[in-house]
């Protein structure tokens, strides 16, 4: 059998990362399994360059900075990270431990499980233009992580939603030129002040436009051609044309669900003994869908997992005691 962990966390977003940190505080051997190739979850996808104001201790923090801080915090307790795997089954073994099996057949073994995978997995819709595969990752991006990589570069954003507007406005301060291409006649899900900021910016907006051709060598993107024949020089394409969402597999795992989410009490325990939940996947009376809420739920889930493994363990611990030697 493969190595047995005390806690295996499904999901490497901010809630999953904080769960890993707190699990380390509780002296538990921890593994994190994330479907995406990078950590950060929805914050990295949707809010990397937007300020978040509802996390305690920060008077506004960029999403990317929050992810970096929570990741650094998690790394301090040295959990094991497994990237690019989606769990299709959770099976309880005769000895009470769990076997988690990925879609590609990898198996993971754990004494407890914490589900922190939100409402399901998602991928950005890829750019549907011939030759785009040549530039994926280097010149074509589906998130705006690491804003500084666009310093002095020409950037084209392809989107008809508020996400694309946010990206374009964030790029304005670092890129040498920014174009925003919208296939529609208006932007979707935007606020009035978003449109006003866009009008007052230096971003060049192209409405009812579509990229039909990519120009460049096999290794370097040089520009795009629009459906009206206009040529735009660019170093980078940032694409947000919606998500391909795969609903959660919670039912398939044998968990009781309620409208796609997992009902729990204050101990964050699911219908399967030894499996707990934190973050957007959890549902209970007066549940708040906030990043900060996930942190509190993470602590509750980990404390429950610790008690499940060792009923004599303390119900909670205090960081001021654990890290007193660092003072």
Average pLDDT over residues 170-199: 92
Higher pLDDT, 304 or 137: 304
pLDDT of residue 326: 64
| Among 313, 309, 311, 315, residue whose Cα is nearest residue 5 | 309
196 annotated among ligand-binding-site residues: no
Is the pLDDT at 324 greater than 90? The verdict is no
Is the pLDDT at 282 greater than 90? The verdict is yes
Helices marked H in 201-281 — which ranges? none
User: CA–CA separation, 157 vs 140, rounded Å?
Assistant: 10
318 annotated among ligand-binding-site residues: no
Average pLDDT over residues 230-237: 96
| Among 174, 155, 164, residue whose Cα is nearest residue 198 | 164
42 annotated among ligand-binding-site residues: yes
259 annotated among ligand-binding-site residues: no
Is the pLDDT at 51 greater than 90? The verdict is no
Burial class (CB in 10 A: 0-12, 13-18, 19+), 217: exposed
Helix (H) or strand (E) holding 198: helix 192-200
Q: How confident is the model over 69-94, as pLDDT tens digits?
A: 999 999 999 999 999 999 999 999 99
Average pLDDT over residues 266-292: 96
Q: How confident is the model over 121-179, as pLDDT tens digits?
A: 777 888 999 999 999 889 999 888 778 899 999 999 999 988 899 899 999 999 999 99
Cβ atoms 7, 26 nearer than 8 A = no
pLDDT of residue 1: 59
15 annotated among ligand-binding-site residues: yes
| Residue 205 Cα distances to 37, 105, 211, angstroms | 31, 46, 13
Is the pLDDT at 246 greater than 80? The verdict is no
pLDDT of residue 151: 95
69 annotated among ligand-binding-site residues: no
Structure token digits, residue 129: 């233009």
34 annotated among ligand-binding-site residues: yes
Q: What is the DSSP string of 60-90?
A: SEEHHHHHHHHHHHHHTT--EEEES--EEEE
pLDDT of residue 162: 87
């Amino acid at each position: 059998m493969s190595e047995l962990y005390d806690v295996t966390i499904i999901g490497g977003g901010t809630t999953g990362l904080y769960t890993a940190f707190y699990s380390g505080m509780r002296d538990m051997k921890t593994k994190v399994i994330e479907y995406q190739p990078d950590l950060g979850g929805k914050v990295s996808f949707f809010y990397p360059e937007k300020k978040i104001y509802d996390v305690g201790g920060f008077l506004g923090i960029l999403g990317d900075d929050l992810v970096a801080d929570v990741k650094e915090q998690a790394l301090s307790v040295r959990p094991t990270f497994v990237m690019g795997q989606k769990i299709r089954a959770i099976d309880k073994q005769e000895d009470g431990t769990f076997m988690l099996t990925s879609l590609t057949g990898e198996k993971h073994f754990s004494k407890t499980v914490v589900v922190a995978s939100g409402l399901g997995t998602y991928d950005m819709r890829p750019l549907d233009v011939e030759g785009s595969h040549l530039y994926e990752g280097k010149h074509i991006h589906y998130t705006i992580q690491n804003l500084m990589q666009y310093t002095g570069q020409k950037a084209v954003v392809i989107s008809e939603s508020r996400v694309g507007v946010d990206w374009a406005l964030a790029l304005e301060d670092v890129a040498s030129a920014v174009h925003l291409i919208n296939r529609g006649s208006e932007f979707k899900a935007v606020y009035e002040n978003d449109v006003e900021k866009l009008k007052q910016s230096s971003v060049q907006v192209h409405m009812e436009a579509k990229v039909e051709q990519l120009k460049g060598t096999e290794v370097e993107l040089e520009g795009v051609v629009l459906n009206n024949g206009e040529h735009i020089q660019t170093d980078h394409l940032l694409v947000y044309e919606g998500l391909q969402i795969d609903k959660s597999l919670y039912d398939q795992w044998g968990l009781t669900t309620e409208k796609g989410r997992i009902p729990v009490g204050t101990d964050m325990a699911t219908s399967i003994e030894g499996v707990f939940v934190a973050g957007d996947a959890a549902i209970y009376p007066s549940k708040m869908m906030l990043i900060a809420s996930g942190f509190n739920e993470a602590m509750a889930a980990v404390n429950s997992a610790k008690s499940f493994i060792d009923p004599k363990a303390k119900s909670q611990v205090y960081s001021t005691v654990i890290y007193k030697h660092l003072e």
